[in-house]
Chain A
Amino acid sequence: QKEVEQDPGPLSVPEGAIVSLNCTYSNSAFQYFMWYRQYSRKGPELLMYTYSSGNKEDGRFTAQVDKSSKYISLFIRDSQPSDSATYLCALRASGGFKTIFGAGTRLFVKA
């Protein structure tokens, strides 16, 4: 069993749709939860960072963490064509920066 499971997609949605991206994990030692956006041939860009169960909102993005279910989500409201990218969930335990990534979900937002 992989430490982090993420559906690679691709996921195609019309402009303006609400997008839901998800990851599950198996190791309860993970305490920090991140979502990165990566455009083709670029480095990952940090979108959201949280360390507690619940929701965290930043503009059109909402990160949700459920530690009891070991399930994390990223919601994108009013999706735009510029949101088309690969979204990677990332997790790390406390006491260091070693980070494990999900497979990444390729998102296409059609105009």
Chain B
Amino acid sequence: GAVVSQHPSWVICKSGTSVKIECRSLDFQATTMFWYRQFPKQSLMLMATSNEGSKATYEQGVEKDKFLINHASLTLSTLTVTSAHPEDSSFYICSAGDQSTDTQYFGPGTRLTVL
């Protein structure tokens, strides 16, 4: 089946620094990718929709200046957490929609720990 990868799988950073997470669709092109955040023992909360070649669409309550999304190609979207703080520590998961199969595939997730 289709594969979506994320890099890095785990990152630890100091408070105040920025962290970039990559999401790639490996064997299909995705005009739309999604970024989710998941806190322990909670469900996935959609943060934003990443649109290739245009601005991302953010969900209510998500700070667009803090969570920068870039979707420069049909196979790559990046999420940059700027000026990270401990409360940003979470599991970040991306997904990509494969229009040929009408199916959304999820990446393995990135665990972010901000000290």
| Interface set of A (CB-CB < 8 Å, partner B) | 6, 8, 32, 34, 36, 41-46, 49, 88, 92, 96-104, 106
Give how many B residues have a beta carbon under 8 Å from the other chain's beta carbons.
Answer: 22
Of the candidates A41, A88, A97, A106, the one whose C-beta lies within 8 Å of that of B104 is A97
Chain A residues with Cβ below 8 Å from B34 are 97-99
B81 within 8 A of A: no
Query: With a CB–CB cut-off of 8 A, which chain A residues contact B54?
Result: none
Given contacts A41-B111, A45-B106, A88-B43, contact A97 B93 (CB under 8 A): no
Closest to B111 in A: A41
**Min C-beta distance of A107 to chain B, whole Å:** 14
Q: Are A103 and B46 in contact (CB under 8 A)?
A: no
Residues on A with beta carbons closer than 8 Å to the beta carbon of B32: 96-97
What are 22 of the A-B contact pairs (CB < 8 Å)?
Answer: A34-B104, A43-B107, A44-B93, A44-B106, A49-B103, A88-B43, A92-B104, A96-B32, A96-B97, A97-B32, A97-B95, A97-B97, A97-B104, A98-B46, A99-B34, A99-B46, A99-B95, A101-B43, A101-B44, A103-B42, A103-B43, A106-B41
* Complex Cα spacing A101 to B110, Å: 19
B109 touches A102 (CB 8 A): no
User: Separation in Å of the A27 CB from the closest CB of chain B?
Assistant: 15
A28 to B: closest C-beta gap in Å: 20
Residue numbers in A under 8 Å from B111 (CB-CB): 41
Q: How far is the CA of A24 from the CA of B33 in the complex (A)?
A: 26
On chain B, the residues within 8 Å of A102 by CB distance are: 43
Q: A44-B44, A88-B43, A102-B43 are in contact. List 6 more A-B contacts (CB 8 A).
A: A41-B91, A43-B107, A43-B109, A97-B95, A98-B46, A103-B42
Knowing A96-B32, A98-B49, the reply to whether A104 touches B43 (Cβ < 8 A) is: yes
Interface residues of B in 63-97 (CB under 8 A from A): 91, 93, 95, 97
Q: Which partner residue on chain B sits nearest A102 by CB separation?
A: B43
